[in-house]
A and B are shown apart, each in its own frame.
Chain A
């Protein structure tokens, strides 16, 4: 990966003093991230260019232990790290031009802090969000930005743009400012870090960006991406930045950043997810359910609300993804919960493809935003598992109303609200499905809106509550042998009809 920096100041080759690197020498540095080479493709009094070329070892990237950071982006040999200007280049910059970054020049102190006409060229800068994001980050800092997005493959034009931008920055700034901008913003643009984010990172960010970051219009986004979405660190860093400016709104701004919603929400005061959970809990209360299964519980947002209401005596969170269940356990802090509270909740891995006796015999099963994650071909399995086998008295189902999607700003036509949604239903489709399932399994169904309904499009989320009317025709949910205790508490020994059967052979 390559970065060049050109000064066109008079006595341009003074750049060598500022960088502590002699223009007539080629130097190499063994760094943790690879070997950094520094050389000057040109060095005249009119124009002096320094090049930083970092060679990353692709084998070490995969096999070495020191790049354990973002496993998904680094575990492959086919990896852009050897080419793209990323956090690794940022590290090299910090090491190789450390004194310049700290604005130290013992030989020529008078050069420090003097704005120079500079030109920075980064031929392969990864930018999630394209050229505009690059401009949005660098222009407020006094750079003019010339960014050309590279095509993914010139022979396959249908594939469109790559995420790499060939960037040239021009501006008149002190060298240490220029380096500090690059040091912080290269990894921000890339978005993937090659090492685990630790609390040191907060210090580094404050040190490097303290002087200019607080006033940057994209401050929050920069902090968030630099700290790779670690919420605690983000709040910490923002608070400390605020302190630098002695601003009073630190707590508020921190909260804003921390509040993340995973899907598009309507422009309402209360987020849709909150309304949805409230509506589900209300239905459960109305049905008098005490023992409740949240099937597809995800990270446990609904479970948390159920736990807060003592009328729910037994709560089961089930999900098919083991990692999600671990997160739920973490977020609910199961390990620190008191015995009484802990005994109310169970998390278990389950799947609607398979019958699960552990889910049978409850008062209610909640399928909150679950059905749309199931392939239409597999829906009959879900119907049989929930309505046929688990067979609770009440089933509460919520799902998006696709008709409402047009009202979400920025959603393209025909798009679904989440990339894993296999479908989204109109109100009529949902009603038709609910009707059929209810009839097939001996339930009645009632519908309710969630969120403010639009006169034409209806509510953003639709909800149906199924109530069982019949005992099972085929005795689906009879208890099984495995569910029986070792010694039944009150089994009378009864006379056995036929002695010969139980006896021994003569």
Chain B
């Protein structure tokens, strides 16, 4: 606790993040001081807030409302981690109580700076300001209140109290800001973060050895330091002591390493208790403390004193590596990172307890990591678990070494777990070890509504920030909740694809020439034309076995993957899906891809045929229905017009047009019929994979498309009934002959009833001068477009108008969705928590509800 200090030096130091209360009578110069020492927005003044609510900075009748506003603003700033200064007289205890409370509510330090100038100065200043028409008794009263308050400020909860006694002092002093003890953002590692040691010195030495450290010993043979040849440093997560055989030995090593700059450490609850015991406080001796005290008893007094000092100086949590890593013994929720308060410290030492105790008499811990949504990795110990596992970018490294488990370290930033087994059970556990996450579901799989609802901005690695409007998110929530598969099975939704620029040719809407020209303009040297299958876009997630599905995706019994549509719906019932996945799995087995790619699961981008398997109701209800109406109405009209013509009436133009429309109706009928073939269960269903999206630890958008198609060919070879090949042709956009061959290929393909083709940069993901290049352009066939634009779209009068179509929005959407898709794949491959993978997936679905012409 600090006492009020008389400032004699020319500077006062305050924490970088704190809530500063200026205290002083009216006219003591607070606002001037604040303006000199703090930023324009850092200072929130009560006078200004009076002005905000009542147009008058001196209207005392609105003080209550003005302070509401003031605290609201201050609260928002503090929540954002910004230093804030309250410029008000603050001479009354009640006013200061609110400030202290607000600081604690945001876990920042309340600081008081008192401007204690003579009454005469205040009175004189107020006289010069005609708007301050209150009498001298007001200033006098404020001065009295201030004087009476001064002594008690520290007791009121202010963690620093700085008193400036004269005008000269106020004018000459400088406020400097110092970083918090927990702020070690300038430390970038690499680190080896070590879980609860509990006096297991021998295992600790073994672990350090395995991590590559050379243990340094003193003359007596005690380990006193450990040095890594590459300059790596250890971080101890606390609970070095108690229960185990050699707590002093562990302390000695850790103290030596920290002193030599080879390690950092945070305290655990056991150190906390040890401090109290060594300081002579009343402590209940339990949980292995007795052993430690006994062991320390045999050490020289100097060592005990040094150990006490060392433990006492430990800071309860550290924020490292530009804020990307946070370490604390029991973990720390995001709102507490880099903050300082009693409850932050309590959380860091003891975790988030519910206040209840379980059947073993141990405190019930709230699984805070399940809710964790922060960007920083949090490493912690405290709760023994059999296996370290990632829960929302957090990991508990206490694997119960002292109870006969393992001593565990995590290499940072490599995220590699390194373990040594316990030499023996040193201490019998009170209760058996259980996994960190709540059983039966994986804790990190819980998605929160706040993960998806409202306006959202998703950071993508390839296309910057992509934003999603609130109303689109609301619509996507309905689709995702009512029709889609569980998000665990939807690590990716395919992006929309832009069509090629509109063709200038008289009879066509789309033609390959524009695709080749577009890629030539983007500097793409080689493209691949891929046949556009006459089916539905399908994503296939297949696991090698049920164990992988459960471990990696939290699959319920019987599920080993999913086959789903562009909006995340399952194509088939669970039984048929399982059978289809069996077929896919068998083909992957035969092709030998599991081992070749080093993975237990694959995510494939594919087309599922026939279209009627998914879209029969659309085909029947819309396409066939319209054709039936046309086939009924138009021939009758032709008949009547012919009769009229035979009477000599001039209906020739109308008759010609109606005859052409009747032919179009027939062509339209032919066009949709190609998409219908009978399917019985899975008989007749085919998959045409064309890209491997992701596998364990890897995404594949940097592999050329021919590599992907080569993989697909191997699946086709393994099972030519279930899999269907994708025809392809490489084209060099800068070569006229190659382009001509590409055009001919498309003409043949679509002339014989094919849907069209997709042109992609052969290298796969390509960046141009203006960022991402379109990952593909679709060039659809003339007859296929009839079922998109209607039977009569080819009539010149219609086609001319249809050619006037805006593609800009569609292209921009295609790129944004592409980047979101890549983002979800990369997060999946990095094994990030489900909510992180789900975020861009949900965003794709939300973007799909943006109003864009669905025919593009």
Contact = CB atoms under 8 A, between A and B. Distances in A.
B654 A37 contact: yes
A162 B478 contact: no
B366 A504 contact: no
A159 B612 CA distance: 12
A236 interface: no
B418 interface: no
B643 interface: yes
A503 B15 contact: yes
A447 interface: no
B105 A505 contact: no
B650 A486 contact: no
A317 interface: no
Contacts of B632: 83, 123-124, 150, 164, 166
B808 interface: no
Interface stretch (B177-185, B219-227, B388-396, B592-600): B177-185
A77 interface: yes
B801 A124 contact: no
B766 interface: no
A352 B481 contact: yes
A2 B622 CA distance: 21
Interface stretch (A197-205, A246-254, A430-438, A472-480): A472-480
B624 A156 contact: yes
Contacts of A51: 637, 640-641, 644
A4 B636 CA distance: 10
> Chain B, interface size: which category?
35 or more
Given A82-B792, A156-B676, A499-B1, A164 B356 contact: no
B634 A83 contact: yes
B182 A501 contact: yes
Interface in B227-281: 272
B117 interface: no
Given A4-B640, A497-B342, A77 B633 contact: no
B620 interface: yes
Interface string A1-23: 11010000000000000000000
Contact of A123 (B556, B636, B792): B636
Contact of A152 (B75, B312, B481, B620): B620
Contact of B345 (A166, A497, A503): A497
B305 interface: no
A491 B626 contact: no
Given A80-B626, A354-B451, A487 B98 contact: yes
A262 interface: no
Q: Which of A155, A486, A500 has the most CB atoms of chain B within a 10 A radius of its CB? A: A486
A491 B104 contact: yes
Interface stretch (A211-219, A267-275, A372-380, A401-409): A372-380
Given A500-B315, A505-B178, A83 B101 contact: no
Contact of A41 (B627, B643, B658, B676): B643
B447 A83 contact: no
Interface string B607-636: 000000000000010111111111111101
Contacts of A83: 626, 629-630, 632-634, 665
A98 interface: no
B16 to A, nearest CB: 8
Given A26-B644, A488-B101, A493-B156, A40 B649 contact: yes
Interface stretch (B133-141, B543-551, B782-790): B782-790
A322 B629 contact: no
A78 interface: yes
Given A58-B790, A162-B629, A504-B13, 8 more contacts: A53-B637, A53-B640, A78-B789, A124-B632, A320-B478, A474-B364, A487-B105, A504-B14
Interface of B: 1, 13-16, 71-72, 75, 97-98, 100-102, 104-105, 109-110, 156-157, 159, 178-183, 272, 312-313, 315-316, 333, 335, 340-342, 345-346, 352, 354, 356, 364, 366-367, 371, 438, 441, 446-453, 471, 474-475, 477-478, 480-482, 485-487, 556, 574, 620, 622-634, 636-637, 640-641, 643-644, 647, 649-651, 654, 657-658, 665, 669, 673, 676, 787-793, 798, 801-802, 855
26 contacts: A2-B633, A2-B640, A39-B649, A40-B647, A41-B641, A41-B643, A51-B641, A53-B654, A77-B789, A78-B787, A80-B630, A83-B626, A83-B629, A84-B633, A124-B632, A150-B629, A152-B624, A164-B628, A353-B480, A353-B486, A482-B450, A487-B98, A493-B104, A496-B345, A502-B181, A505-B180
Which 6 A-B pairs have CB atoms at the shortest separation, nearest pair first? A493-B157, A77-B790, A41-B643, A502-B340, A162-B628, A504-B178
